[in-house]
Structure 1
Amino acid sequence: MANAPLIEVRDVSRVLPGPVPVTLVRDINLTVRRGEFIAIVGPSGSGKSSLLYLLGLLDMPSQGAIYLDGANTTELNRQQQAHMRLSRLGFVFQFHFLLHEFTSLGNVMIPMRKLGGKNESQIERQARALLGELNMETYADRLPEQLSGGERQRVAIARALANDPAVILADEPTGNLDSKNAQQVFDIFKRLVELNGQTVIVITHEMHLAQQAHRRIRLIDGLIAEDG
């Protein structure tokens, strides 16, 4: 594991403005290193998803700064942030958000097409390889509606891996899965960390899954209450 931090969160707060401002997270300081598997836990409304969206550049802090590979992401313009999301970050959500008009293969190819730099045959070859790594190669030509929940989530993970991101951010990725498929998803995350050296940050309310991570961060009322 490299010594240089991959992500640094410095004095970050996120407040929704309005007649009665709502604080989502406050005074967050956090260092994430390469190859870590982190579970974020806490009660509903504690700020877990808000923190994940800030880490994923899907939202911006009201104060403080978030550094990714040494770059202050709060100083980037929207186009630069979008490029960083596409090239450095992969997302997996509770609801897989696969595009129903595309096959499994087509869904995995989308991020690579958006990023550019590869021709269509290279993109298809890499997409098929990713599906193969997740034991989904025989489902490449199936539409999402032809897949089970666990199969859809594996396609979503393959899509998240399409551009070889440094960080996988997963928001309740097992929330709609039975215990067997939920464990399979966590086994995939562990393999990504152990074999690829990727960093995985996952929100989960299932403590038996969270305990499989290297590190657990507990949020309460928008604050980090525990990190260990």
Structure 2
Amino acid sequence: MTPLIAAHGLTRTLNETVPVTLVDNVSLSIGAREFVAITGPSGSGKSSLLYLLGLLDRPTAGTLAIAGRDTEPMDEDERAALRLATMGFVFQFHFLLPEFSARDNVEIPMRRLGRLGRADMRERAAALLASLGLADHLDKRPDQLSGGQRQRVAVARALANDPPLILADEPTGSLDSRSSEQVFDILTELVRGRGKTVVAVTHDLAMAERTDRRIHLVDGRISSDEGGRGAGPPG
């Protein structure tokens, strides 16, 4: 089966007076329905690697295929189209548009993709929010929601176009312990119940241990790649 992500020799170097290598010769393969945690000390290249895998940055060297498609020859429009159709993003800070309601924020990726009509977009956004326990908050703005609720809106937005791949950068980093647990449970359900692949950068080692697989980075390189003991792909 073609892996969802196939990276070979990914390297990202900043061309400064003294070159700085953020990601150093990383090769990995991630399949469907995996819950993968990327761990490592601060400055180890975790977020830099995630941004390369999410086509938010280009590697200095190496190759990256997403769902069997080589991304190296793609121009920025092609990369954006692939990203929009196959990936959803959840960041430490939700990045919701403050003037829009929860439902309007979730509709934004659908509007950009352009596959659904207005009524269908609104219905899908409402259904996604309801599935995450936010049925009574569709018309509230981000400043009317708690931190955990805002992050659940961000998850709904990531799911808007039904992508196979969810990339999360410290998704529980700004939340209290109860909200962190709720968001982790949601990410687990995306793998178990919805068949998604989730790749999450995290400092939370307890969370990482509950995923299928933990990739540990040190100085931009993979120092270990081992299975967790938690979510597990659905049978």
Q: Shared fold by TM > 0.5?
A: yes
Aligned position for 1:124: 122
Letter in 1 for 2:84: L
Per-residue deviation, residues 175-199 of structure 1 (Å, max 9, x unmatched): 1101111011110011010111100
Identical amino acids, percent of aligned pairs: 52
TM-score between the two structures when normalised by the length of structure 1: 0.98
Aligned position for 2:49: 51
Aligned position for 1:161: 159
Per-residue deviation, residues 103-154 of structure 1 (Å, max 9, x unmatched): 0000000100010021100000000010011011110000000000000000
The equivalent position to 1:25 in structure 2, one of 23, 26, 51, is 23
- Give structure 1 stretches of 5+ with no counterpart: none
TM-score between the two structures when normalised by the length of structure 2: 0.95
Separation in 2, partners of 1:82, 1:4 = 21
Aligned CA RMSD, in angstroms, stands at 0.6
Separation in 2, partners of 1:18, 1:43 = 23
Separation in 2, partners of 1:69, 1:206 = 29
The equivalent position to 1:5 in structure 2, one of 3, 7, 12, is 3
**Residue 4 of structure 1: how far off its partner (Å):** 2.3
Aligned position for 1:35: 33
Per-residue deviation, residues 79-111 of structure 1 (Å, max 9, x unmatched): 000011111000000000000010000000010
Aligned position for 1:86: 84
Separation in 1, partners of 2:214, 2:87 = 20
Indicate the SS of the match to 1:216: strand
Separation in 1, partners of 2:51, 2:156 = 20
Separation in 1, partners of 2:116, 2:221 = 42
Match status 1:146 vs 2:113: no
**Residue 18 of structure 1: how far off its partner (Å):** 1.9
Aligned position for 1:135: 133
Separation in 1, partners of 2:204, 2:48 = 18
Separation in 2, partners of 1:63, 1:4 = 22
Aligned residues: 226
Indicate the SS of the match to 2:187: helix
Aligned position for 2:113: 115
State the 4+ residue runs in structure 1 displaced beyond 2 angstroms: none
The equivalent position to 1:204 in structure 2, one of 187, 202, 205, is 202
